[in-house]
């Protein structure tokens, strides 16, 4: 017996002697993938590869890059967390998504975060990109939405409600009055939570605001809302001009004042007419999907994320303007078949949660005029440098013009008017949601995606586990990469 | 000395003729390297050039769009339009872009209205497109309508999807694409 044990020990010893160096070598030489995507070797520009990998369906590679960048904990950490959050949602990793969104949420809503970087970025030679990323109002809105809905899934209703209300507040940080607080989804989620907590009066109030927001951002009203906003801006300008003229009132200005008053009267009539048309449209818009959505008896929320979010890029002579565009995505509507039996039709879904509309109606920023000023300065100094250079070639015995030309040229080159185009690019283009009542247990869902003509373009089956006690939330992303 | 100068002149001239631009596909190309996250975008362009003044298109310009890079470091690519890019039978330019995966802006097609006097003319496009790693995508047909030499530039009218016929034609023009899978994507 003891001989057998000795033999066994010897074999184990021999094997371990052979195997140890192999494992040790592996430990010392990590996989090339780990080296490539280690935070030390990753640069911000590598995030573009991750973005393209995500939209090409290579989630693993995208995750490695964004995780590596997030580990660096630099001024873009909120951006990396938002991108990672969207990636995790697509993969169905709700806990990881919540952690990533929460980390971004804290920074995006902290006024004091990266304050020193913000002050530095205003300088003539500093780039706006050096600021800490905190996102545009629409990005804050959707970050708050995701944090809220994931907390709701965790049954943390109070914090979820706080997140939705924060989103509503962020949505008020836009220039145009009519575009303020028009994300119906946030009001509807807040209504749902108030109903679950038996706060009927609060719920009624929030639902009223949700309906108003839904009407304002409805595609049928967008043109009219834009027209009305333009008229309101003109009216504001004219009223200020009138007030200014009236304070300096004299005989010469009387004619100008009369003209201004007539123009204001016409603008007010046009605003009323646009308002009436909006009211007329509102009467035709069906809000049944809103009522179904807030029904507290429905224990399951299904959130469809379609397409690719808005793309922000620089234009202008010096890239001083940042503009948005959107990639067309084929998915227009959905239907769901539950357990091969019950079919939920497309009209039941809560639609028009359009991310591009929210991004493109934010209005101007204070920083935009600073960048415009920087671009003008860059252009002027360049022009002066060119004139001095030409003059130096005609007559410049002491080289003064040449020196001045060089100096102004250097100032022009050092001026940095480039707009900051950082944005949460893994956001979807649109969200379509539905609330359902499903019996506890496992269910098979077949989700069909249709294009605008009603043709099925994608169909996928998922298995979901519905629990009785919690608020079930299911995410499904259709990235819209055609093939 | 004269002979040496002549040889240098000849070398420079001929090197221009045979040079291969790595950012576009060419007729004689036998292999397509899509390693290092490179990808291909294919699209066609139509401009009705049947009027009195002829427009000779020479190149098109693509700019890199990358939110993570400073604006002044973004790549700008001037891509040549080779004789094989123009198909007389279809009156179409068959264009290709071979670049690293990322987002690009197709700025404009540049050419001359009168080759002798060299009057420049641009067909403004300003459309964004994607290049996916190791993928070949067809993006559509850019239609500029009628060419008007009186205007400083011509604007894009519409983008159409003619993938069925045009993918086949691309494979015919660029033999390197023959055994490759070409997917569909779109400009934005």
> Residue B118 pLDDT more than 80?
no
User: What pLDDT sits at residue A233?
Assistant: 87
A422 touching chain B per CB within 8 A: yes
Lowest average pLDDT, out of A5-19, A78-92, A149-163, A399-413, goes to A5-19
Residue B80 has phi, psi (to 5 degrees) of: -75, 150
What local confidence, expressed as pLDDT, does residue A107 receive?
93
Task: Report if residue B179 sits inside a domain.
Answer: yes
- With a cut of 50, say whether residue A482 has pLDDT above it: no
In a domain, B164, yes or no: yes
Q: DSSP readout, chain B?
A: -HHHHHHHHHHHHHHHHH---TTS--TT-------TTEEEEEEEEEEE--SSS--EEEEEEEEEE-TTS-GGGS-EEEEE--GGGEETTTTEEEEEEEEESEEEEEEEEEEES-TTTT-EEEEEEEEEEEE-TT-EEEEEEEEEEE--TTSSEEE--EEE--HHHHHHHHHHH-GGGTTS-EEE----
Bigger pLDDT: B16 or A291?
A291
Of A263, A284, A305, the last residue of a domain is: A284
Q: How far is A27 from chain B (nearest CA, A)?
A: 27
- What is the domain extent for residue B99? 24-184
Closest CA of chain A from B12, distance in Å: 33
Q: Where are the beta strands (DSSP E) in A13-129?
A: none
Buried b (16+ CB within 10 A) or exposed e, A135-147: bbbbbbbbbbbbb
Interface contact flag, A325 B102, Cβ < 8 Å: no
In a domain, A254, yes or no: yes
Distance CA A236, CA A264 (A): 9
Residue A253 within a domain: yes
pLDDT at B29 over 70: yes
Residue A123, C-beta contacts closer than 8 angstroms, at least 6 positions apart:
none
Q: Which of A460, A461, A468 is nearest to A438 (CA)?
A: A468
Answer for the pair A215, A222: CB distance below 8 angstroms, yes or no.
no
Q: Report yes or no on A262 lying in a domain.
A: yes
- Strand B136-146 to B38-48 pairing: parallel
Q: How far is CA A361 from CA A100, A165, A197, A329, B130, in A?
A: 27, 20, 33, 20, 25
**CA–CA gap between residue A29 and residue A15 (Å, rounded):** 21
What total number of domains does chain B contain? 1
Residue of A nearest to B68 (CA): A45
Q: Which of A326, A328, A483 sits opposite B183 (nearest CB)?
A: A483
Closest CA relative to residue A82, chosen from A328, A350, A314, A428: A428
- The answer to whether B133 contacts A327, with C-beta atoms less than 8 Å apart, is no
Q: Do B183 and A482 touch (CB under 8 A)?
A: yes
Residue A19's domain comprises 2-29
Please list, in sequence order, all residues whose beta carbon lies within 8 angstroms of the beta carbon of residue B70, skipping any fewer than 6 positions away: A127, A129, A418
**pLDDT at position A416, please?**
81
Highest mean pLDDT among A315-324, A420-429, A473-482: A420-429
Those residues whose C-beta lies under 8 Å from the C-beta of residue B59, and which sit 6 or more positions away, are B78, B79, B80, B81, B109, B110, B111
For residue B80, is it within any domain?
Answer: yes
Torsion over CA: A62, A138, A149, A345 (sign): negative
Residue B167 lies in a domain: yes
Mean pLDDT, chain B, as a whole number?
86
Confirm whether A8 is domain-assigned.
yes
B116 contact partners, CB below 8 Å, separation of at least 6: none
3-state SS, residue A198: coil
Determine whether the interchain pair A418/B66 forms a contact, defined as Cβ–Cβ distance below 8 Å: no
Q: Residues A153-190: pLDDT tens digits?
A: 999 999 999 999 999 998 876 666 777 778 899 999 99
- Number of domains chain A contains: 2
E strand or H helix at A472: strand A472-478
Closest approach of B98 to chain A, Cα-based (Å): 15
- Chain A residues 119-148 within an 8 A CB cutoff of chain B: 127, 129
Q: What is the mean pLDDT of residues A26-49?
A: 76
Residue A363 pLDDT class (50, 70, 90 cuts): low
CB A221 within 8 A of CB A281: yes
Query: Would residue B15 count as lying in a domain?
Result: no
B52 belongs to a structural domain:
yes
B70 to A422: CB separation less than 8 angstroms, yes or no:
no
pLDDT of residue B67: 95
DSSP A130: G
**For testing the chain A interface, which of B34, B37, B67 should be mutated: the one with the most A CBs within 10 Å?**
B67
A104 or B31: which leads in pLDDT:
A104
A28-42, A175-189, A248-262, A398-412: least confidently modelled range: A28-42
Tell me whether residues B128 and A49 touch, CB distance under 8 A. Answer: no
Does the distance separating the beta carbons of B72 and A311 come in below 8 Å?
Answer: no
Query: Nearest Cβ partner of B68 from A45, A58, A326?
Result: A45
The whole-number pLDDT of residue A139 equals 94
What is the DSSP secondary-structure string of A327-396? ---S--EEEEEETTTEEE-GGGSEEEEEHHHHHHTS---HHHHHHHHHHHHHHHHHHHHHHHHHHHHHS-
Give me the percent of chain A exceeding a pLDDT of 70.
Answer: 90
Report CB contact under 8 Å: B68, A58: no
Q: Does position A2 have pLDDT exceeding 60, yes or no?
A: no
> Which residues are paired to B38 by β-bridges?
B100
Cβ-Cβ contacts under 8 Å, B66 against chain A: 45, 48
In this prediction, residue A19 carries a pLDDT of: 59
Longest dimension (CA), chain A: 123
Tell which wins on pLDDT, A34 or B77: B77
What average pLDDT does chain A have?
A: 86
Question: Of A329, A304, A333, whose CA–CA distance to A433 is shortest?
Answer: A304
In this prediction, residue A429 carries a pLDDT of: 94
**Close Cβ partners of B31 (under 8 Å, ≥ 6 residues apart):** B176
The reply to whether B7 falls in a domain is: no
Q: What is the mean pLDDT of residues A35-46?
A: 83
pLDDT at A24 over 60: no
Closest partner residue to B102 (CB to CB) among A52, A314, A422 is A52
Length of chain A, in residues: 483
Sign of CA dihedral A52, A57, A61, A67: positive
Length of chain B as a residue count = 188
DSSP A401-470: HHHHHHHHHHHHHH---PPP----TTS-SEEEEEEE---SEEEEEEEEEE-TTS-EEEEEEEEEEE-SSS
Kindly state whether residue A257 falls inside one of the protein's structural domains. Answer: yes
CB B97 within 8 A of CB B35: no
pLDDT digits (tens, 9 = 90+) for A264-276: 999 999 999 988 9
Report the DSSP beta bridge partners of residue B141: B44, B160
A173 falls within a domain: no
Give the separation between CA A478 and CA B13, rounded to whole angstroms. 52
The residue with greater pLDDT, A212 or B6, is A212
Residue A483 predicted with pLDDT over 50:
no
Nearest CB neighbour to A52, from listed B67, B133, B188:
B133
Does A196 fall in a domain? no
Distance of alpha carbon A67 from alpha carbon A83, whole angstroms? 10
Give residues 213 to 232 of A whose Cβ lies within 8 Å of B.
Answer: none
ipTM: 0.83
Does residue A18 form part of some domain?
yes
Q: SS3 of A111, please?
A: coil
Kindly tell me if the per-residue pLDDT of A116 is higher than 90. no
Region A230-241: mean pLDDT is: 89
Give the C-alpha separation, A203 to A161, whole Å. 12
Q: Tell which residue, A40, A93, A43, A39, has the closest CA to residue A68.
A: A39
Residues 22-51 of A with CB under 8 A from B: 44-49
- Is A312's Cβ below 8 Å from some Cβ in B? yes
Q: How confident is the model at residue A461 (pLDDT cuts 50, 70, 90)?
A: very high
**B157 in a domain, yes or no?**
yes
Is pLDDT of B5 > 50? yes
The minimal CB distance from A129 to the residues B70, B105, B132 is found for B70
Q: Look at residue B53 and tell me whether its pLDDT is greater than 70.
A: yes
The reported pLDDT for the residue numbered A414 is: 84
Nearest alpha carbon to residue A110 among A134, A76, A85, A80? A134
CB count within 10 Å of CB A410 equals: 12
């Amino acid at each position: 017996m003891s001989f057998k044990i000795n033999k066994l020990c010897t074999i184990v010893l021999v094997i371990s002697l052979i195997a140890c160096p192999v494992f040790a070598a592996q430990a010392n030489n990590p996989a090339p993938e780990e080296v490539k995507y280690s935070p030390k070797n990753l640069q911000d520009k590598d995030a573009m590869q991750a973005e393209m990998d995500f939209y090409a369906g290579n989630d693993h590679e995208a995750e490695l890059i964004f995780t590596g960048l997030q580990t660096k904990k630099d001024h873009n950490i909120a951006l990396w967390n938002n991108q990672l959050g969207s990636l995790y949602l697509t993969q169905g990793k709700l806990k990881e998504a919540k952690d990533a969104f929460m980390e971004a949420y804290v920074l995006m809503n902290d006024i004091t975060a990266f304050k020193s970087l913000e002050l530095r970025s205003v300088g003539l030679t500093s780039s706006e990109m050096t600021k800490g990323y905190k996102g545009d109002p629409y990005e804050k809105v959707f970050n708050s939405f995701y944090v809220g809905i994931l907390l709701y899934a965790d049954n943390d209703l109070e914090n979820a409600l706080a997140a939705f209300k924060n989103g509503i507040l962020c949505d008020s940080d836009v220039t145009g009055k009519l575009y303020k607080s028009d994300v119906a989804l946030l009001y509807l989620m807040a209504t749902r939570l108030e109903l679950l907590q038996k706060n009927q009066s609060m719920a009624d109030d929030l639902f009223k605001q949700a309906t108003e927001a839904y009407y304002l951002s409805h595609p049928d009203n967008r043109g009219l809302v834009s027209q009305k906003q333009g008229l309101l801006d003109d009216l504001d300008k004219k009223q200020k001009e009138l007030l200014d003229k009236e304070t300096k009132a004299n005989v010469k200005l009387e004619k100008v004042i009369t003209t201004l008053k007539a123009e204001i009267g016409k603008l007010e009539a046009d605003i009323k007419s646009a308002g009436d048309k909006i009211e007329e449209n509102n009467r035709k818009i069906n809000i049944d999907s809103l009522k179904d959505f807030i029904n507290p008896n429905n224990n399951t929320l299904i959130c469809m994320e379609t397409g690719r979010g808005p793309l922000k890029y620089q234009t202008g002579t010096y890239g001083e303007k940042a503009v948005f565009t959107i990639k067309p995505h084929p998915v227009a509507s959905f239907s769901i078949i539950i357990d091969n039996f019950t079919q939920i039709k497309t009209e039941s879904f809560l639609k028009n949660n359009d991310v591009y509309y929210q991004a493109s109606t934010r209005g101007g920023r204070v920083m935009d005029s600073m960048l415009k000023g920087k671009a003008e300065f860059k252009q002027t100094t360049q022009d002066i440098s060119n004139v001095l250079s030409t003059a130096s070639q005609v007559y410049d015995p002491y080289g003064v013009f040449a020196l001045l030309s060089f100096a102004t040229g250097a100032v022009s080159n050092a001026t940095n008017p480039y707009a900051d185009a950082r944005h949460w690019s893994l956001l979807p283009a649109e969200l379509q949601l539905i609330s359902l009542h499903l019996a506890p247990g496992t269910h098979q869902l077949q989700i069909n995606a249709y294009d605008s003509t009603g043709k099925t373009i994608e169909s996928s089956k998922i298995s979901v586990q519905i629990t009785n006690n919690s608020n079930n939330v299911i995410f499904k992303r259709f990235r819209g990469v055609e093939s | 000395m004269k002979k040496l100068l002549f040889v240098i002149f000849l070398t420079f001239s001929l090197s221009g003729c045979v040079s291969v631009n790595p950012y576009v596909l060419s007729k004689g190309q036998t292999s397509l390297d899509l390693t290092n996250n490179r990808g291909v975008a294919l699209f066609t362009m139509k401009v009705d050039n049947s009027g009195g003044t002829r427009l000779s298109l020479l190149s098109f310009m693509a700019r890199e769009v990358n939110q993570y890079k400073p604006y002044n470091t973004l790549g700008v690519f001037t891509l040549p339009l080779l004789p094989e890019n123009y198909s007389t039978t279809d009156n179409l330019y068959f264009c290709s872009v071979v670049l690293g995966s990322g987002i690009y802006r197709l700025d404009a097609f540049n050419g001359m209205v009168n080759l002798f006097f060299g009057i420049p003319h641009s067909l403004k496009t300003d459309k964004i497109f994607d290049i996916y790693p190791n993928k070949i995508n067809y993006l559509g047909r850019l239609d500029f309508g009628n060419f008007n030499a009186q205007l400083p530039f011509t604007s894009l009218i519409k983008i159409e999807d003619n993938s069925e016929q045009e993918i086949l034609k691309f494979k015919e023009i660029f033999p390197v694409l023959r055994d490759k899978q070409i997917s569909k994507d779109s400009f934005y």
